[in-house]
Amino acid sequence: MAFKMARGKAYQSLLALCLCYAVVETISAPMGVPNRADGSVLVGDMLYSAAQWQSLLARNLKSKEVLWPKTNGVVKLPYKIADPKINATLVKLGISAWESKTCLEFPELSAADTTAEYLNLMIEESCWSSVGYTQGEITDISIAGSACNLRGIIHELGHAMGLLHEQSRSDRDDNIIVVTANIRPGAEVNFNKDNTVNFGLPYDYYSIMQYQDTAGSQGPERVMLARDPRFQTVMGAMGTGSEITFMNMKLVNTMYGCIDDWLAKCKLSSEPCMNGGYTKKNCKCACPLGTLTAMAVKLPS
């Protein structure tokens, strides 16, 4: 049930609720070796700058360290399409998926623009992205190969914003078992565990950043086993779908302080949304899977 924010003093306060119902779940570079002329390292589909790589080796690279700067409550990730062969329509659909649900904006730059820090969309030999923001540097994203469908573009934009793979989370061993014996030689780097900042959010099997359970396998065997078997068949199961999950949105909006900004804009001193929900830019609740949409309740003055 949708609601409108009160104007003036029509309401003393509003409580946005996420009402929960019981639901049954349906069920390439050697490590440490720079492999590019500038000292950067391509690991699976993630490109680390030389400085990021050294930080990662020291296990200090965390989500907070790769965030794009915020100005007046807006985080801008300008971009240029460097190769005319790139499907600009598909890129804009991927960008819209993130823009519509976060406080991030992706303004397109002209070829002549001299902005120093931007997303450089190009075509190299595969589908990959640099990880997050590096001051004074261009963030490269390669839009190439069959993997760079809409889902792939959304996934790579996630890396550019600072997201790592879900299966690389610091708490992944509490949620999945990585069967290293089944990993295809050369694909091991996609299953390294990193020292991530998880912002208190649970592991997201559905995440746009989660690989499917047989990804990187040298055969039909599974590489990842869900500790809770209910989630085995849904691990990365969005497949070619392009849906950004609730937890993806909440993670990005938490990382970048979007939620705090929206609470302030909505004149709320604390989070009124329940059951893990959060306040969106329109002052309604974003609710997790298995809960109802936001409702407004007039409280006694």
Q: Extract the annotated binding site for Zn(2+).
A: 155, 159, 165
52 Cβ contact list (under 8 Å, min separation 6): 61, 66, 131, 132, 134
Which of 108, 125, 137, 156 is catalytic? The answer is 156
- Strand pairing partners for 139? 119
Give which of 278, 292, 269, 265 is closest to 13, Cα–Cα: 269
Other CB atoms within a 10 A radius of the CB of residue 188 amount to: 16
Q: Quick one: tokens of 105?
A: 């904006």
Angle (nearest 5°) at CA 203 between 260 and 283: 25
- Strand pairing partners for 285? 279
Using CA atoms, how far residue 196 sits from 164, 193, 210, in Å, is 8, 9, 15
Phi-psi region of 289 (alpha: psi -120 to 50; beta: other; left: phi over 0): beta
DSSP letter assigned to residue 136 = T
Q: Which residues are annotated as a binding site?
A: 155, 159, 165
188 given a catalytic annotation = no
Q: Quick one: tokens of 225?
A: 């086993």
| Enzyme catalytic residues | 156
